[in-house]
Structure 1
């Protein structure tokens, strides 16, 4: 039986062997890296594209920010003495989870645009993606096969002045 590792927002995990990496995404984005020959890889789960203090970007290795999380993933590839171009990279998340969010103006969509753009800038092709749109995503990434399963759920209703009964959120489809 494979070991289950859950990656919370702002966390990064890189491993090898019979492991499943899982996470839950709303507006956050996860990037997965998988080496098909060595069967190793990882996942970062970031909340915002970057952190800027004044006009100078600050690098602190914080997984909450996409630029820093991606840099950490690239460093993990180097530590393992593998080539970045040998990895399959996939991008997930960046959903609108509240009904009153407008398309094109959400943090989630900014996160997804950042991830795809940053990977393009370093000439790393994206082998698969499931980004933006409505609702949340539950991911399961198998380091043995490189497969990523996505279970999608609905977003939350817009808030209103009068309280109303909310329906429970049910997953859309199985793993």
Structure 2
């Protein structure tokens, strides 16, 4: 009788572990996934080596917003983390370190710490046409930049990002422990 009870207990543990693994993979595959930051393109907002949680479904239920931080894969299948600057049907321009969307100046509060981090200018002057040959961002695409504009592989080099290639949005650092918290 003791052996049967032990066998039942072992089977229950195995079932619990299998169910937990199934839930883990369902959540990871459909809802959230971790991503490691590699590089300095989002500094000082996001540091090299930090680990983020990517929400894979949230933006699909709603719209992407300007300044959302997104994760997508480039043509080399490397995951990139950038900030959405321009949305469909918008014109983007920078003049004298000021972002203009459809001719209207925009605030970029997340860049305030960059002045302390980087002595050079934040962003060179440019227009959407100079990098994309388009006067407005087409439907289904976004224009992205890294916060560390002087050291970022972004829409200025790789072009507009198709929305269907976005893995998800991120706004939470979970590692290292001393950096846990929301992303501005």
Give the TM-score, by structure 2 length: 0.26
Give the structure with higher Rg (CA): 2
Structure holding more helix per residue: 2
Give the TM-score, by structure 1 length: 0.27
Structure holding more strand per residue: 1
